Structure 1
């Protein structure tokens, strides 16, 4: 049985998440969606705003932030979905506007029961063109939402001048140089390729890493909010035990500042590439393609986070060589 893809929709308050959800339901009529809604407050009314889908396909998570005390409730909903005879082939999760989606992604990476049945598709972040610039300065959670996204939609472009859109796009690039950025009005981008992107698939991670090498200024990408990305590479094989221990300690000690890690690892004594992904403290490794006999083996690791100490991280990684 194939895994069910999961798309996480995030974005700050009022950015247009529920409108995007309705748009996805409209443009993917052949999909059988299950939807998990979360609203911060005592009463969840978002489900009443979702159109063209049966009520039994919507699961409400109320009175809490999905990134904090709601992980257990999220787990129970997913477990019930697995054990029930509910018919669906794509799961959409709309987070509250004050949620850090990293914790949600971590659940799908780290829990064996969930990862056997569900597969992360991508994270879509909506950015309000009208208010984003002001929110950048005072809302740290918005910066996190942008940093972990695979696809960023600049919404409400019909309400601002082109100059504002261009300036916002540059700011977004400073915070996340690897996500695709699309313009849209009313949460409706022209592109129809919003689902089944599989940014977390091993082969796509490999292409992502190669793209990082070709991108400009990715070796130390910094902005005024301290969010950075760095790329480490090494032709010498890494020690499997050493890097496992270091990465676990590194993420535990920096869980508030390291948002995401992606990598292709050349491990000593291992014939295959090892694909590495982490969100916050949760780590996932999968076996990738076999290294060709005449191919030059090279580890490549991309780290996205806040206030990265590049020299220290590079020194630590250099010490992990076999």
Structure 2
């Protein structure tokens, strides 16, 4: 546990190390996090998962830390809920200081794949209270070796994630058949962030999570320019740092924020939209689905919409194995081999497919899904419930 420091004669707790885990959609953040959290060196870690959209799945798939899990809802961390991050971290400290939760040694924040890290870093580095209680230990960015070059070409967020990193993990290198293609990607990453070591997906936990203080002076000048252009949100409510709790927050498990926060953007963002092109939505089914039906649905969806499908992730209740969820995961048209899990992660056994798409209307996909489920155009019982978040 961090030792206390003395300032002006008064002892205060030493800053808690905090690691930002980022990477574009499908880079493997949750997979890496699950592996790291099995390492005894990362005991007593609080994990904050940010999910983008309406129905969350990633927090269900992080293993072994349910009692130390905080779910940030309602949008992309860099965008609509940056102030929510401030509230969440303050509440976390307050609960720890008041012994409402056990002590923890470090915090890991897993961002959505669409997060621009600059506004998040600004909070962690420059917030007058949080910068005193936390120290930014590092920014770990995952890059998918299969889709990395195309992703960097197409998405500014992916480039910013690389520029902000002090450690980059190349994932899925075993799926790259062409060594020259992998070499070109390594060169591209070195151009974006010179001198940065590239680590493999099996890198030790200590080399990723406890590597030392994040040194902004050693990061590319471009990042420092972004931070200078960014500003902290103007909170519309008082963030007191005494012994009381914020009213209106659920402090047991997931946080549901019912009040409005100022976000320093000058306008509001739709929590389901990162920009005018990217959308997140969910398809559900109450009854078991033959696996062949899902396979055909995905094949047709991919043939119609192709590269505009950024991400599909979900749990399917198949007719063949209704008591064991089928985990399905596709990134930029590539469907990874489905995995049959041992048990459902919670009491909800509905099929839930989360999609993140670009320039595709939700109704078009919903109608296709309804057709495969044999629903009439007016039923649409697969519409999501309100008030929970979409994994990214």
Q: Structure 1 residue runs of 4+, over 4 Å off?
A: 277-280
Which of these residues, 88, 91, 107, is aligned with residue 80 of structure 1? 91
Preserved contact between residue 36 and residue 205 of structure 2 (Cα < 8 Å)? no
Secondary structure in structure 2 of the residue aligned to 1:41? coil
Unaligned regions of 5+ residues in structure 1, if any? 210-228, 231-257, 262-276, 284-322
Measure, in 1, the Cα distance between the counterparts of 2:203 and 2:173.
10
Which residue does the alignment assign to 1:11?
Answer: 23
1:2 pairs with 2:14:
yes
Preserved contact between residue 141 and residue 161 of structure 2 (Cα < 8 Å)? yes
- CA displacement at 1:278 relative to structure 2: 5.2
Measure, in 1, the Cα distance between the counterparts of 2:42 and 2:154.
41
Which residue does the alignment assign to 2:338?
Answer: none
Which residue does the alignment assign to 1:194?
Answer: 208
Preserved contact between residue 259 and residue 280 of structure 1 (Cα < 8 Å)? no
Secondary structure in structure 2 of the residue aligned to 1:158? helix
- CA displacement at 1:197 relative to structure 2: 1.7
Which residue does the alignment assign to 2:166?
Answer: 150
Secondary structure in structure 2 of the residue aligned to 1:112? coil
Secondary structure in structure 2 of the residue aligned to 1:5? strand
TM-score with structure 2 length normalisation? 0.51
Preserved contact between residue 166 and residue 214 of structure 2 (Cα < 8 Å)? no
Name whichever structure is richer in strand by fraction: 1
1:59 pairs with 2:59:
no
- CA displacement at 1:28 relative to structure 2: 4.0
Q: Flag the 1:103–1:62 CA change in 2: closer, same or farther, 3 A.
A: same
Which of these residues, 194, 203, 207, is aligned with residue 177 of structure 1? 194
Q: Flag the 1:279–1:121 CA change in 2: closer, same or farther, 3 A.
A: farther
Which residue does the alignment assign to 1:68?
Answer: 79
Structure showing greater relative contact order (alpha-carbon pairs closer than 8 Å, 6 or more residues apart): 2
Which of these residues, 154, 160, 163, is aligned with residue 180 of structure 2? 163
Secondary structure in structure 2 of the residue aligned to 1:189? coil
- CA displacement at 1:138 relative to structure 2: 1.1
When the two chains are superposed, the root-mean-square deviation of aligned CA atoms in Å is 2.3
- CA displacement at 1:167 relative to structure 2: 1.5
- CA displacement at 1:163 relative to structure 2: 2.5
- CA displacement at 1:192 relative to structure 2: 4.4
Which residue does the alignment assign to 2:50?
Answer: 38
- CA displacement at 1:49 relative to structure 2: 0.6
Unaligned regions of 5+ residues in structure 2, if any? 1-12, 233-392
1:49 pairs with 2:61:
yes
CA offsets 1:197-231 (integer angstroms, 9 cap, x no match): 22425xxx67x49xxxxxxxxxxxxxxxxxxx56x
Q: Flag the 1:190–1:125 CA change in 2: closer, same or farther, 3 A.
A: same
CA offsets 1:111-142 (integer angstroms, 9 cap, x no match): 11111110000000000001011112111110
| Structure having the higher Rg | 2
Measure, in 2, the Cα distance between the counterparts of 1:191 and 1:65.
26
1:123 pairs with 2:134:
no
1:21 pairs with 2:44:
no
Measure, in 2, the Cα distance between the counterparts of 1:154 and 1:10.
12
- CA displacement at 1:191 relative to structure 2: 7.3
